[in-house]
Amino acid sequence: MAGYSLIDNPPNLARIRQVIFECKEPIEISLEEFETYWPFIDNVWVKQRSNSSKEGHCTTDYYMCRLRRPTHRTSETRPLPEGKRPRKKRVREGGMCNFQIKVVRFEGAYSTVTIARTPGSSHVHSHDLDYIDKVKRNSGLMEFARKEAVKGYLPSSIYTKFQEEPEKLFEAGGKFCTVTDVRNVSAKWRIQNPEVNLVPHEGYTYQKGHGIVRAQSASDTNQPAVARKQPNFTALSPLPPDTLSFPQFPLEFLDAYLPGHDEKRELPHVTLSYASSMDSKISLLPGMQTVLSGPEAKLMTHYLRSRHDAILIGVGTVLADNPGLNCRLEGAGGFGGLGRMWQPRPVVIDPTGRWPVHPECRMLRTAVEGKGKAPWVIVSPGAQIHPQKLMMLKGYGGDFLRIVEYNQNWRLRWEAILRALASEGIKSVMIEGGGTVLSELLNPEYTEFIDSIIVTVAPTYLGRGGVGVSPDSKRDEQGKPNAALNPREIKWVPLGQNVIMCGKIRAAPSGG
């Protein structure tokens, strides 16, 4: 077994270490993924404090970047014992980096961990990941060394085998790993087992002037340095059968109508997106699913979902279609990606609490399978929500959000809904339906809340009995009919059997 590998990295380790290090957006992953990857990035952070929710479902740990904390403070009140020399410890003043995160653990039907920057954090680290890896080694890498040390192997032998796999070593954050690091991690076991005679690995020997080296043998010509059998740990899981290929056609034409990454605003970016017939109908009959998007437009819709924090629909559409409201593109969470990456939060407008929370609902099944997030349900103060229904939804990671503000028609105010979503960290919302929700939001009084509209137009007429999308009629000051809405910066782009219409609705901010 001279050639077995010591470094069993999980899949895509280097990329995932970088994603967690940068933490540009909140990262929601499963508890299993967190426990797998966090040890390989824990060298970046120093824990500050923890707190738990009253129900015990949620635990929040707060961390600061290691470079924010000073490493050494001199103390004249604590003299060294006689005969003991002071350690040559490198002093770091602290305050070098103000990056801070919180790690929220949620225990439920599908336990998750969310990693996000805290409000007082800087947007980026003042250093790169290599710098931290040089300052301190992560516990995931050191665990590989510890597992070998407790078998009675020499630290120098462990280090030699590490160096034979430089790509794996660097991927795990071991670019600056030294033989001293290996000695330190094995010291506790050596103290507890002083009678054990440490030995090199089989097939390795001590060579004066070179330390531990691989012993040459006839079998070396046929035996590779690393065992032929790769650890099962590193094999990627097969993609679900309903996975969609990432679009191979250009989608840059959408960029101007999508939310910006660093855009600072009070309310979320709102995109209206739906498929329509030539006569502005979205379905043949109320409650009847009608396919209007071709294969290319379907991929585009899932791409749009990946670019938004939330998808919003009315309860009527949920009851009629039982949608999953997730992103099924390859690379999204549950479809080859990490955690809930690219997965938007479903939001259901349900003022009276009609939606029956049931384990067989597609949105909840999707959440349990790790292919999407559980929904937030917007309800009015008068909605009667049974405690069991509330606890079930919370157990899946969802929740009910009560909105107490109404408009003149006794409907929930859209500004209050968007403000509530913003307070929950939602920066962008894609509104997909149904007809009532879309038609209402196309009215002039809501133009200040709607940023863009992306409509997939199908080459068909559904007829007068179909469910239409249209704002209310509008008249000018003289009472003459007038156009209800005129989107600006229009683009028409053919896409397969459909044509995509993109436009902006909210007035452009004035210059100055």
Count Cα atoms within 13 angstroms, Cβ side, for 106.
19
User: Is residue 234 one of the residues assigned to a domain?
Assistant: no
Q: Are residues 154 and 300 in the same domain?
A: no
| Collapsed DSSP state (helix, strand, coil) of residue 317 | helix
161 and 289 part of one domain? no
Which amino acid is located at 281 in the chain?
K
* One domain, residues 258 and 210: no
pLDDT of residue 442: 95
**Angle at which helices 139-149 and 179-192 cross, to 10°:** 50
Residue 107's pLDDT is 84
Q: Answer yes or no: is 84 within a domain.
A: no
Q: Are residues 100 and 208 in the same domain?
A: yes
Cα four-point dihedral sign 391, 328, 287, 351: positive
Tokens standing for residue 270? 């709102």
Domain end position, chosen among 197, 214, 231 = 214
Q: With contact defined as beta carbons under 8 Å apart, do 367 and 374 qualify?
A: yes
Note the pLDDT of residue 205: 82
Residue 226 is predicted with a pLDDT of 37
Number of structural domains found in the chain: 2
Considering the domain boundaries, does residue 348 fall inside one?
yes
pTM for this prediction: 0.75
Residues 6+ apart with CB under 8 A from 178: 159
Q: How far is CA 67 from CA 64, 92, 133, 322, in A?
A: 8, 8, 12, 49
Label the pairing between strands 488-495 and 498-504.
antiparallel
- What distance in Å separates the CA atoms of residue 276 and residue 409, rounded to the nearest whole number? 27
Within the chain, what is the greatest distance between any pair of CA atoms? 101
Structural tokens at position 451: 């940023």
And the tokens for 376? Answer: 């937030």
Q: What is the mean pLDDT of each run of 10 residues along the chain (512 residues)?
A: 81 92 91 95 95 78 89 57 62 76 88 91 95 96 96 92 94 95 93 91 75 62 38 53 94 94 83 97 91 96 96 94 95 89 95 92 94 95 90 92 78 92 93 94 93 98 94 84 90 98 86 49
Residue-number span of the structural domain to which 368 is assigned: 252-474+481-504
Residues 6+ apart with CB under 8 A from 222: none
Alpha-carbon distance of 137 to 132, in angstroms, equals 8
Residue 5 falls inside a structural domain = no
